[in-house]
Amino acid sequence: MSKIVVITDSTAYIPEDITKELNIKVIPLHVIWGDKVYRDGVDLKVEEFYPMLKDSKTLPTTSQPSPQEFIDIYKPILDNGDNIISIHISSGISGTINSANQAKEILGSKNIEIFDSMSSGMALGYITILTARAVKDGKSFEECIKIAQQGIKNIDVYFAIDTLEYLHRGGRIGGASALLGSALDLKPILYFDKEGKLDSYEKVRTKKKAIRRIIEIAQEKIGERRPIHFGIIQAESHEDAMYVQSELEKIYSPEEIAEIMEVGLSPVLGTHTGPGLISISFLAGM
């Protein structure tokens, strides 16, 4: 009998014990720093990355896995007669989905379903986890595909950025905006728009207000949907993450929260945001 293998990428930040438990395969994106290429989360860990970033005069760049890297992970699974559900970072900010689709075309297989999460972080992570749990529960390929599709419709993520410096250095905003933002201590709150691109949701004075605001936004967006799977992502902001978790646990009862996880922001997205980020991801109503 054919099995189903769920694949995601390193920007999902799924804790390693869960990837092992659910047999989720993770393909790393790349961080390019000078003449070195690191595999996100493999050759370059979160705890190593941010001290290096602070000390570096040059900003690293990032790139998606190649089609060949996808072929290398897909082919043994297909050769075993199994099906694949491959769920990845938004095509609005990465070419990862394009590489996956090229690999599928080269392999000429109908047993690969590729999903653009239109998001990243633990929003992507929870789509992947719920799909993999459905696989473990013995759901069919078609049923698992429907769960992935439903998950994409029920996720959201909001980022509070500590500084505009890295967005400016990476060409995401202009110099005048960065200078003005720094002078006014403006903290942009970012989100994924309908095209899966990172955009500014609003700007808030001071980091404390930004953190309180992303909690409020999460409440507004979740509405009456239950249960809720929360992901708190931080980049050298563990205390802020603990505060966010405690606030969410005051707002929602244990019966309403299916699970809540705190994870570190991986080097690929950290390249563009820098340290100090705090984010709330959620999947609600499933």
**Predicted pLDDT of residue 170:** 55
Instruction: Look up the CATH number of domain 155-284.
Output: 3.30.1180.10
Neighbours of 53 (CB within 10 A): 20
pLDDT in tens, 47-88: 888 888 888 888 898 999 999 999 999 999 999 999 999 999
Rounded Cα distance between 57 and 38, Å, is 18
Domain ranges within the chain, ordered by starting residue = 4-29+64-153, 155-284
Q: Which phi-psi region, left, alpha or beta, contains residue 155 (left: φ > 0; alpha: ψ -120 to 50)?
A: beta
Strands (E), the chain: 4-9, 25-27, 30-33, 36-39, 61-63, 83-88, 112-116, 155-160, 186-192, 198-205, 228-234, 257-264, 278-284
**Predicted pLDDT of residue 41:** 85
Is the pLDDT at 219 greater than 60? The verdict is yes
Whether domain 4-29+64-153 has CATH 1.20.1630.10: the reply is: no
pLDDT in tens, 79-112: 999 999 999 999 998 999 999 999 999 999 999 9
Is the pLDDT at 174 greater than 70? The verdict is no
